[in-house]
Amino acid sequence: MSIEISHVGKRFADFVALDDVSVSIPAGRLTALLGPSGGGKSTLLRIIAGLERADTGRVEIDGVDATALPPQQRNVGFVFQHYAAFKHLSVRRNVAFGLEIRKRPTEEIRRRVDELLALVHLEQFGDRLPTQLSGGQRQRMALARALAVEPTVLLLDEPFGALDAKVRKELRDWLRRLHDEVHVTTVFVTHDQEEALEVADEIVVINEGRVEQIGSPDDLYDRPANEFVMRFLGPVTQLGDQLVRPHDLRLAVDPADGVPGRVSRITRIGFEIRVEVTTADGQSVTVTLTRNEFLALNIETGTDVRLRIAPDTPTTQLSTHAPTLRTALTPTH
Ligand code: ATP
């Protein structure tokens, strides 16, 4: 089911939490609401859920005006960061909860809960209590519970926010696969750009109550609409008056013309090498290389290099900006 948000505004006393927000969320897609803390993401999600009422504007779910509908009439499922499970009920009963209050037949509930536990890979854990699950397993239980009542829309507010990085990453991949299986229209809030870029089909960037840009991960990363989006989506370094992504800069072995500089720092980050170069006019430029690229160049701190424009690599630019900049580094030793 698609969601159409038109000119939604929301104030808390004098504070403008959302200012004339319009977003079309396509049916069956995984959409991320991405932005810094306090930007209004959760408020927008709560307005879609019906937990909060917009002051102005309109929310349509599947073509129906839902602006004034209470949450239970919207057929949405939710999962929040600090998910509140019924601690005294087993995992099975937690998942069954929505079906039980809808008084579905016992046999149907049993079958559906079995299916859901399999879907979230918790078949073995149905008889445990939620406190006997890990954080990641608990979030998967929460998703199973939200999916139990076959919502037309699934809303997730930082569902993996409280978990450690490794589990977060696993759940992210898992959410993507789950979505590919069930195709329910899903909107999730995150302040983590990597999470949004990796998982979402569509990203809505929200900052200070306004939509900065809507697009696919590639659109936003490669063609940010403005400097805020460009900086928020990932690291940016500056060469001359251009902003570019560090990994779009290149180091070349052959001598060539370019901006002279000296390697001031080399840092290893996981599988990448970050090389900082100070140019003759004192600008610090960051280049990100793979380990192999780095080894092939044979550079170290203090090596004189040249930064040059290399015409054959994709690069980031503001979509309103002029020509594509390609840059390479040439050691001059
Ligand atoms: P975070 O990532 O930190 O959750 P967010 O982008 O989801 O941030 P919101 O939770 O939507 O932001 O909050 C937007 C702004 O509205 C914040 O400044 C917040 O303090 C304010 N706000 C949210 N709910 C209320 C409320 N019930 N009363 C007053 N102010 C509120």
CA atoms within 13 A on the CB side of 107: 0
pLDDT by 10-residue block (mean), the chain, 333 residues: 95 95 95 95 95 95 93 85 80 93 92 91 94 88 88 88 78 85 91 90 96 93 88 77 69 64 87 86 84 86 78 45 39 55
Cα 94 to Cα 68, 84, 105, 107: the distances in Å are: 29, 10, 16, 16
Tell me the C-alpha distance between 78 and 279, whole Å.
51
Strands 242-244 and 237-239 turn out to be: antiparallel
Question: In the prediction, which pLDDT does 151 show?
Answer: 86
Provide the phi-psi class of 157: left if phi over 0, else alpha when psi is between -120 and 50, else beta: beta
Tell me the C-alpha distance between 46 and 49, whole Å.
5
Instruction: Find the 47 Cα to ligand 1 centroid distance in Å.
Output: 12
209 CA closest ligand 1 atom index: 14
Mutate to test the pocket of ligand 1, among 41, 45, 212 (most ligand atoms within 8 A of CB): 41
Is pTM, for the whole model, over 0.95? no
Question: In the prediction, which pLDDT does 332 show?
Answer: 56
- Euclidean distance between the first and the last CA atom of the chain, given in angstroms as a whole number: 61
Q: Which two tokens stand for residue 324?
A: 């594509």
User: In this structure, which residue's CA is closest to atom 23 in ligand 1?
Assistant: 43
Instruction: Find the 30 Cα to ligand 1 centroid distance in Å.
Output: 23
Considering only CA atoms, give the Rg of the chain: 24
Structural domains in the chain, CATH included, are: 3-228 (3.40.50.300), 235-331 (2.40.50.140)
Instruction: Find the 52 Cα to ligand 1 centroid distance in Å.
Output: 12
Q: Where are the alpha helices (DSSP H) in 206-310?
A: 217-222, 227-233, 291-297
Q: Are 40 and 77 in contact (CB under 8 A)?
A: no
Pocket of ligand 1 (CB under 6 A): 12, 15, 17, 35, 37-43, 189, 191
Question: In the prediction, which pLDDT does 214 show?
Answer: 96
Strands 185-190 and 153-157 turn out to be: parallel
Instruction: Find the 36 Cα to ligand 1 centroid distance in Å.
Output: 11
Write the DSSP assignment of 148-214 as a string of letters. HT--SEEEEESTTTTS-HHHHHHHHHHHHHHHHHH--EEEEEES-HHHHHHH-SEEEEEETTEEEEE
Q: Which residue type does 236 have?
A: V
Which ipTM value was assigned to this complex? Answer: 0.93
206 CA closest ligand 1 atom index: 6
Instruction: Find the 268 Cα to ligand 1 centroid distance in Å.
Output: 37
Instruction: Find the 282 Cα to ligand 1 centroid distance in Å.
Output: 41
42 CA closest ligand 1 atom index: 7
